[in-house]
Amino acid sequence: MVKGLNLATDILGKVNLGDMAFLELKDRLPSPQESVVFNALLVALVEHGITPSALASRLTYLGAPESLQGAVAAGLLGVGSLYLGTVEGSARMLQQASPDASPATELRVIARAIVHDYATRKASIPGLGHPLHKREDPRTPRLFAIAAENGLSGRHVQLMQLIADEFKLRHGRPIPINATGAIGALASELDLPWQVCRGLGVMSRAIGLTGHLLEEMRQPMAQEIWDRVDAEATEHLSRNMEVDSD
Amino acid sequence: MVKGLNLATDILGKVNLGDMAFLELKDRLPSPQESVVFNALLVALVEHGITPSALASRLTYLGAPESLQGAVAAGLLGVGSLYLGTVEGSARMLQQASPDASPATELRVIARAIVHDYATRKASIPGLGHPLHKREDPRTPRLFAIAAENGLSGRHVQLMQLIADEFKLRHGRPIPINATGAIGALASELDLPWQVCRGLGVMSRAIGLTGHLLEEMRQPMAQEIWDRVDAEATEHLSRNMEVDSD
Amino acid sequence: MVKGLNLATDILGKVNLGDMAFLELKDRLPSPQESVVFNALLVALVEHGITPSALASRLTYLGAPESLQGAVAAGLLGVGSLYLGTVEGSARMLQQASPDASPATELRVIARAIVHDYATRKASIPGLGHPLHKREDPRTPRLFAIAAENGLSGRHVQLMQLIADEFKLRHGRPIPINATGAIGALASELDLPWQVCRGLGVMSRAIGLTGHLLEEMRQPMAQEIWDRVDAEATEHLSRNMEVDSD
Amino acid sequence: MVKGLNLATDILGKVNLGDMAFLELKDRLPSPQESVVFNALLVALVEHGITPSALASRLTYLGAPESLQGAVAAGLLGVGSLYLGTVEGSARMLQQASPDASPATELRVIARAIVHDYATRKASIPGLGHPLHKREDPRTPRLFAIAAENGLSGRHVQLMQLIADEFKLRHGRPIPINATGAIGALASELDLPWQVCRGLGVMSRAIGLTGHLLEEMRQPMAQEIWDRVDAEATEHLSRNMEVDSD
């Protein structure tokens, strides 16, 4: 029995992995619409290429191949406040603004206050900006479209968009909503508490990191990364020591 | 781009989380049949109740609530050789026997040789036996039925079943194929290398552990577990010290 | 070569483990006085009995005995903001008050401002209070005495003591400086930046957790803890289900 | 109270960190001779420069600076069978040969049998060989000298040396005893069970990794490592895609 459902008869063969994750977090299975949106949100977080997280997993596997779980865990430990943690940050910002509790006309006012608050604190707004995609993160419009098609684009999504608008008005330059900002908004539409939103990245990244480790078994890169960094550190050290010996 | 597919246009909104995991491990999306079987296999591993792994996660969260990723990682570190690791063990046993390479008639011979080998080494056969379900693990026939319905019940599944048969013949008592044994067989049917099979448990359990942590935020149990163990340890210590002071 | 010293000829056989840790953090070996104080500070953090951290390590070892490093890591993941993290908290509080930068007469003023600030924010002051030792944590006077005997009891220690005094004046009840508060003060006397002070607990606890795991190999407790929690959870579930079936 | 001693009065200010680790593992404080040898053994494991472990810690800190404990834990997860795990391997080899149980004349016979056994299994002997120090690991003679000076160079050390001799006789080329081999021998002289010897590396490396993280705070290298690997992966990918588009 899982959350009141019989695993063998109600779940196995009927429920996909994303829906099972929904069941874990919401104590009920998703509607078909919720299923599409929630799976999309998780899928978007699985694979971001050669991240520090993926590198940490591969380097850990090099020393401890007997413990695949340890190598995945090492990678997950980097899913913190800086990268995927911004899903938590944007969900928190949106949920603490409680847009559902206030009438529709005030959303822009809330957005303006948020942008003002972050500007005053000289803090960056979670979910905005991307080092590469300066104009638009291509995942964001797709995620918002999926939410809209499934009737799940409500006031949290609107508020996220208005925050980006107000940022542009205040700072005189456009800024894209990045994928973690879009995901924070969608998670809020699905009424997932922000406190668990970092967990969305953790779940998904566990899948991506396992994929990286299978690739590392077949096409290793950890040893070469180590060799290069080590060679450079040694060379740097030798140069310093020559200087010292003058 | 992920594995040659465009994340925004080819994947988001079309692919569920289990299929994304399949893409990570197999470099292609699953067929509809493979999707059902692979999702079932992962879903079966998500939630096993109050395991040592779940307890480790909850106790870790108690001390470091700022790091959800750390609490999940702590739980994953227990996904080792003893519990979910038996997925790896049974997949390895089946794949090293290479049943696909030999003609159909020899499967029972292979099974007998495996049972003999483990009996000689006084080792327990991975995937057989369950502390509670002495006759049958209810998840196993369901998983095998799902594989059969989807045309994915081949020689690895047969071999697993014959190993259980031969065990009964040799030892004179029936033994159930447990869920991890069934999953090891299904993973082999999907041609997943045994070296990555522990990763299936890691992926799924990351989801289950995130669920446990959300529950821990709402209905904490870690503090009480600590209090009770501590009280008992202290009492035990005091009793020993009385004895010492005699 | 480690930090400019030759490991074989300058370090091995001459330097104890605590002094080696000092070398790692300060890029030089300690004076004899610093050595006594720094070793005492680390030693005080090694063993705190059956903590959530120790339980997480033992439960992790139960599932993954092949990975001692994983079991220690699981325990370390709980060395966070709530328990040993208060070493960081008190060191930060003391160092940000920069008592060395101001003349001696102002220490009480600084202390009063800190107590006022925490009271206004309804936050608890790091390093003060203890669930068991209501009047005095016996480690604190000993640690402060060791610092004084070695000429390392300066303005950070004084400030910590004045903060406890001012707390008593403001709130009308005495409160002890706990061991992590004393350690935060001593680390500040040794000029260790607060950003690395959580690392003091991590280092020391790695030793304590290894000790717990050796004990777990010889006198296991993890299985029994699991059994009891599981039995109670099952019983609780059954009772709920009876209620449900009414 | 720790292991029957009063922390405040018997331990703090009197016992260094290495001796505290001895107390954790042996339930008693070391003799002065044991203290020198045990501290040397641990100190030798603290710092090995830019290892995969140190890189994993630094990369993890980049993404999750809020969790120093997570970054250290990530690094420890790589202390596995391949690198520091060889302390466990050599201690196990020596202890399972039980040299103390047999009369002195047989040590060479035991050594020959061990070398024969590993050669037959085409396995490498734990504790022998070093990628850089082809003739001699400079730490080994120093560690053995420290043991001899302190009356702790017994039959386990002798057996390790005879194994290296017999290797040379059989394979016609000299091979050095590396530092982990020497440490495995010393740990055996101190009667530490091999099952906990991986823990010696874990303890010591927790100290070294904390040092690396402090250095990373001051002179970051993780971001640059990531940038370079990422740039190269992207370039590699582009080249492949050009090929694809032919």
pLDDT tens string, chain C, 246 residues long: the values are 888 899 999 999 999 999 999 999 999 999 999 999 999 999 999 998 899 999 999 999 999 999 999 999 999 999 988 877 789 999 999 999 977 776 666 899 999 999 999 999 999 999 998 777 677 888 999 999 999 999 999 999 999 999 999 999 999 999 999 999 999 999 999 999 999 999 999 999 999 999 999 999 999 999 999 888 888 877 765 554 433 333
Region of poorest pLDDT, from A130-139, B111-120, D148-157: A130-139
Residue B63: enclosing H or E segment and its boundaries?
helix B52-63
Question: Does the distance separating the beta carbons of A66 and C66 come in below 8 Å?
Answer: yes
Question: Does the distance separating the beta carbons of B233 and C52 come in below 8 Å?
Answer: no
The pTM score is 0.93
Q: Tell me: pLDDT of B231 over 80.
A: yes
Kindly report the nearest CA distance between residue C16 and chain D, in angstroms.
Answer: 5
Question: Does the distance separating the beta carbons of C43 and D208 come in below 8 Å?
Answer: no
Question: HSE (CB half, 13 Å, CA atoms) of C76?
Answer: 37
Residue A36: its chain B contacts at CB < 8 A? 13
D partners (3+ CB pairs within 8 A) are A, B, C
Residue B70: its chain D contacts at CB < 8 A? 67, 69-70, 73
Coil, strand, or helix at residue C48? coil
Residue of B52, B62, B233 with shortest CB distance to C52: B62
Report pLDDT for A103: 65
State pLDDT tens for residues B153-199.
Answer: 999 999 999 999 999 999 999 999 999 999 999 999 999 999 999 99
| Rounded CA separation C169/A115 (Å) | 42
Tell me whether A80 touches chain D (CB under 8 Å).
yes
Report pLDDT for B246: 31
A partners (3+ CB pairs within 8 A) are B, C, D
Picking from C51, C55, C68, C72 by the largest number of B CB atoms within 10 A of its own CB, the best residue to mutate is: C55
* DSSP symbols for C124-139: PPTTB--SS-SS--TH
The CATH class, in words, for C31-219 is mainly alpha
Residue of D16, D142, D146 with shortest CB distance to C16: D16
Kindly report the nearest CA distance between residue D73 and chain B, in angstroms.
Answer: 9
Report pLDDT for D241: 43
Question: What percent of the residues of chain D are helix, what percent strand, and what percent coil, each to the nearest 5?
Answer: 70, 0, 30
Region of poorest pLDDT, from A133-147, B210-224, C198-212, D37-51: A133-147
Q: Tell me: pLDDT of A246 over 70.
A: no
Q: Tell me: pLDDT of B241 over 70.
A: no
Residue of B65, B77, B83 with shortest CB distance to C70: B77
Picking from D77, D230, D232 by the largest number of A CB atoms within 10 A of its own CB, the best residue to mutate is: D77
Tell me whether B86 touches chain A (CB under 8 Å).
no
Nearest to D188 by CA among D168, D159, D214, D217: D159
Residue B85: its chain C contacts at CB < 8 A? 63-64
B partners (3+ CB pairs within 8 A) are A, C, D
Could you tell me the residue ranges of all domains in chain B?
31-218
Question: Does the distance separating the beta carbons of B82 and C77 come in below 8 Å?
Answer: no
Report pLDDT for C168: 95
Chain A residue with minimal CA distance to D198?
A64
Question: Does the distance separating the beta carbons of B64 and D69 come in below 8 Å?
Answer: yes
Tell me whether A138 touches chain D (CB under 8 Å).
no
| Rounded CA separation A34/A36 (Å) | 6
Residue A15: its chain B contacts at CB < 8 A? 39, 43
Question: Does the distance separating the beta carbons of D79 and A77 come in below 8 Å?
Answer: no
Kindly report the nearest CA distance between residue A152 and chain D, in angstroms.
Answer: 31
Chain B residue with minimal CA distance to C53?
B60
Query: Quick check: C206 and C69 in contact, CB under 8 A?
Result: no
Structure tokens at C61: 């070892």
Chain B residue with minimal CA distance to A143?
B12
Chain A residue with minimal CA distance to B210?
A199
Interface of B with A in 35-74 (CB under 8 A): 35-36, 39-40, 42-44, 46-47, 67-70, 72-74
State pLDDT tens for residues C191-244.
Answer: 999 999 999 999 999 999 999 999 999 999 999 998 888 888 777 655 544 333
Residue A226's contacts (CB-CB under 8 Å, 6 or more residues apart) are A59, A62, D50, D51, D52, D55
Report pLDDT for D106: 87
State pLDDT tens for residues A41-75.
Answer: 999 999 988 999 999 999 999 999 999 999 999 99
Picking from A2, A61, A68, A69 by the largest number of C CB atoms within 10 A of its own CB, the best residue to mutate is: A69
Amino acid at B172: G
* Cβ-based burial of A172 (10 A; exposed 0-12, middle 13-18, buried ≥19): exposed
| Rounded CA separation C169/D237 (Å) | 67
Residue A70: its chain C contacts at CB < 8 A? 67, 69-70, 73
* CATH architecture assignment, domain D31-218: Orthogonal Bundle (1.10)
**Cα-Cα end-to-end distance for chain B:** 74
Supply angle C-alpha A43, A48, A54, rounded to 5: 115
CA distance to A74, C19, C43, C190, D39, per residue, from C36 (Å): 35, 9, 10, 12, 15
Tell me whether D120 touches chain C (CB under 8 Å).
no
Picking from D60, D83, D225 by the largest number of A CB atoms within 10 A of its own CB, the best residue to mutate is: D60
Amino acid at A69: Q
Question: Does the distance separating the beta carbons of B67 and D64 come in below 8 Å?
Answer: yes
Picking from C50, C57, C60, C209 by the largest number of B CB atoms within 10 A of its own CB, the best residue to mutate is: C60
Chain D residue with minimal CA distance to A52?
D59
Return the exposure string of B92-121: e unless at least 16 CB atoms fall within 10 Å of the residue's CB, then b: bbbbebebeeeeeeebeebbbebbeebeee
Report pLDDT for B53: 96
Report pLDDT for D239: 53
Question: Does the distance separating the beta carbons of A51 and D226 come in below 8 Å?
Answer: yes
Residue A66: its chain C contacts at CB < 8 A? 66-67
pLDDT in tens, chain D (246 residues): 888 899 999 999 999 999 999 999 999 999 999 999 999 999 999 998 899 999 999 999 999 999 999 999 999 999 988 877 789 999 999 999 977 776 666 899 999 999 999 999 999 999 998 777 677 888 999 999 999 999 999 999 999 999 999 999 999 999 999 999 999 999 999 999 999 999 999 999 999 999 999 999 999 999 999 888 888 877 765 554 433 333
| Rounded CA separation B10/B15 (Å) | 8
| Rounded CA separation D21/D29 (Å) | 9
Picking from B59, B67, B79 by the largest number of D CB atoms within 10 A of its own CB, the best residue to mutate is: B67
C partners (3+ CB pairs within 8 A) are A, B, D
Tell me whether A206 touches chain B (CB under 8 Å).
yes
Report pLDDT for A130: 78
> Looking at the DSSP assignment, which residues form a beta bridge with residue C128?
C177
